[in-house]
């Protein structure tokens, strides 16, 4: 199975940022040339895919030229063209959150993510699309319209970092930074066929990422990179987290993998399960230890706890969403079990929140015990291939086809629960394609704080794919 992004990139676009940096060191390409390659990709497919929704071309060109003149600069991303999710503040540029009433608002200072990209020498060329207030699994809003899947424009890129994933997949950007509270990096990475990392909670600052100007770190939410290789994710994570030291090298023979058994609360498409089984077999062929195992917890209850705590966390922003929906003339929220659960979470008392948090901490202890026996847990990143693009569906009523049956998309939270509720690092690795040609991804998780180890495992899989000539091929 491929572990690199699977799209044919436009001419002038390197395979990834790591290859670009090597080419720059050799003098084979300049930062300005790399930037122009990204602009050419945007000009070629931007109208079709609609991933990059704001550009600062003149400023980016000036910055690229400055990076080319700075011959002694040693930033990890020196001269690399990047984008950021539209919801991150970038001083002097708009942060709209997809709401037309915010169209003229300019950020007064950089978010921490933008500041760290600049410190590393990256050239920020623009911002990528989002759903309004990040409140959907689909990426669409009234200001910019929908983002389409790069492989099939009738399909979804996913949300809420759909613009991020689509931009990286098509060569419009080398690296993007998205956010993930309940799968918002992982789901688009799967749909678009790129690498995505939701880091351990708290490892990357979210300062400058709030429509309310909040200074606190939001519960479960994490900022993380999307890119075209494991090497690039490691590079970007080091920049964003300021993690010091070399990434520890590992070999697959030394890794204890657990394959998550099927969960009744989250039906998985047969093709998606086949991808998991093939990945498991090929890990075994590469010498890894693979066992069917899971933490001793009630996945249905844990997913319910996650949903309640997410809605409690987003309850203040929910007021902005309600105002936005009213202005746009959207229908009232659907009356279904998921909408009722959302409403219950949004109205939690502090006493109830504390009880749920205590329940979460017990689950964290159980997962810690599980990772004393296993190094990596892997499972699907989604219930099936990228679904049809349906930007106008009410989010809590959104469904995805699974074995020909429309299933509520929110059931997929069960796949993302461990990484979100329990603060774990979660990595989505591109692993071949479905019969339709749509990308497939595998989700891998490790113990809290073992982000760099998880990145090393992904790198080891890349090496195995490159060296074996057969293992991890579709």
Catalytic residue, candidates 3, 156, 161, 184: 184
Contact of 178 with 86, CB cutoff 8 Å: no
Residue 23 exposure: Cα atoms within 13 Å on the Cβ side: 18
Place of tokens 């659960």: 341
DSSP per-residue codes, 317-336: HHHHHHHHHHHHTPPPPP-S
The 3-state DSSP class for residue 256 equals strand
For residue 85, indicate whether it is catalytic: yes
CA distances from 16 to 37, 195, 260, 447 (A): 13, 11, 31, 28
For residue 160, indicate whether it is catalytic: yes
Place of tokens 């759903």: 131
Q: Rounded to whole angstroms, how far apart are CA atoms 375 and 392?
A: 41
Both tokens of 464, joined, read: 């195995």
For residue 184, indicate whether it is catalytic: yes
- Omega cis (within 30) before 160: yes
Catalytic residue, candidates 111, 156, 160, 161: 160
Q: Rounded to whole angstroms, how far apart are CA atoms 175 and 165?
A: 9
User: 399-402 and 439-445: which strand pairing?
Assistant: unpaired
Q: Which residues are catalytic?
A: 85, 160, 184
């Amino acid at each position: 199975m491929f572990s690199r992004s699977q799209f044919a990139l436009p001419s002038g676009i390197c395979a990834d940022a790591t290859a670009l940096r090597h080419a720059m060191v050799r003098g084979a390409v300049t930062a300005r040339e790399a930037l122009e390659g990204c602009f050419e990709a945007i000009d070629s497919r931007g109208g079709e895919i609609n991933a990059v929704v704001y550009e600062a071309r003149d400023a980016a060109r000036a910055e690229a030229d400055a990076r080319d003149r700075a011959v002694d600069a040693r930033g990890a991303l020196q001269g690399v063209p990047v984008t950021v999710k539209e919801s991150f503040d970038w001083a002097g540029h708009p942060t709209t959150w997809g709401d037309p009433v915010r169209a003229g608002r300019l950020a007064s200072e950089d978010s921490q993510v933008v500041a760290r990209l600049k410190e590393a020498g990256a050239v920020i060329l623009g911002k990528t699309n989002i759903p309004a207030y990040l409140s959907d699994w689909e990426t669409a809003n009234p200001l910019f319209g929908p983002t389409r899947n790069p492989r099939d424009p009738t399909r979804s890129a996913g949300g809420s970092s759909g613009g991020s994933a689509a931009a990286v997949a098509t060569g419009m950007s080398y690296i993007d930074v998205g956010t993930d509270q309940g799968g918002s990096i992982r789901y688009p990475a799967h749909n678009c066929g790129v690498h995505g990392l939701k880091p351990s909670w708290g490892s990357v600052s979210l300062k400058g990422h709030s429509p309310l100007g909040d200074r606190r770190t939001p519960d479960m939410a994490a900022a993380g990179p999307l890119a075209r290789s494991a090497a690039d994710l490691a590079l970007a994570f080091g920049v964003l987290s300021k993690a010091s030291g070399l990434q520890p090298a590992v070999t697959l023979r030394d890794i204890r993998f657990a394959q998550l058994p099927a969960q009744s609360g989250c039906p998985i498409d047969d093709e998606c399960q086949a991808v998991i089984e093939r990945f498991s077999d090929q890990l075994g062929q590469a010498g890894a230890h693979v066992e069917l195992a899971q933490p001793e917890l009630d996945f249905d209850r844990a997913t319910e706890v996650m949903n309640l705590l997410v809605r409690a966390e987003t309850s203040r922003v929910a007021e902005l969403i309600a105002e936005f929906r009213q202005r746009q003339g959207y229908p009232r929220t659907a009356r279904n079990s998921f909408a009722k659960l959302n409403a219950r979470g949004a109205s939690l008392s502090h006493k109830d929140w504390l009880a749920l948090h205590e329940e979460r901490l017990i689950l964290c202890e159980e997962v810690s015990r599980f990772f004393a026996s296993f190094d990596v847990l892997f499972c699907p990143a989604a219930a099936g291939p990228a679904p049809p693009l349906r930007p106008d569906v009410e989010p809590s009523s959104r469904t995805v086809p699974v074995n020909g049956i429309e299933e509520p998309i929110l059931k997929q939270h069960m796949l993302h629960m461990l990484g979100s509720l329990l603060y774990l690092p979660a990595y989505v690795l591109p692993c071949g394609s479905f019969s339709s040609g749509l990308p497939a991804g595998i989700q891998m998780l490790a113990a809290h704080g073992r982000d760099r180890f998880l990145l090393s495992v992904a790198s080891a899989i890349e090496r195995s794919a490159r060296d074996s000539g057969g293992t991890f091929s579709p």
